[in-house]
Amino acid sequence: MAACGPYVSKMKTHQIEIQKFKAASNNQHGQIMFKVDALVSPKTPLEGMEPSSMLVMTEENARVLMALLKAQMAEFDSKKPKSRHGRHG
């Protein structure tokens, strides 16, 4: 595998275990940011498998994540201009 430039390095993989979601917000770049308590530990890639980080959470935290995502998506939608398509008058 050849390097594509001087800044290319091996991807570091981690296991990220969410303990608690504290807050969510979005910015002008279309990104959603979460403030979380999490345990982060290095994860050794398994031989023959593509390296990936793992995000782990309880069902309760998954439900909190879903609610936070819905709220942030609604906030994005409220900032978009309303379509005039379909209005004839």
The string of pLDDT tens digits covering residues 25-60 is 999 898 999 999 999 999 988 888 888 999 999 999
Question: Token pair for residue 6?
Answer: 């001087």
Write down the pLDDT at residue 3: 46
- Residue ranges covered by each domain of the chain: 14-44+52-79
pLDDT at 84 (0 to 100): 57
Measured CA to CA, the distance from residue 64 to residue 34 in angstroms comes to 11
Compute how many other C-beta atoms are within 10 angstroms of the C-beta atom of residue 69: 13
pLDDT tier at 2 (50, 70, 90 boundaries)? Answer: very low
| Rounded distance between C-alpha atoms, residue 17 and residue 82, angstroms | 39
Name the least confident of 11-20, 60-69, 73-82.
73-82
The torsion angle over the Cα atoms of residues 69, 55, 11 and 32, rounded to 10 degrees, is: 10
Encoding tokens for residue 82? 């309303």
Question: In this structure, what token pair is assigned to residue 41?
Answer: 């530990």
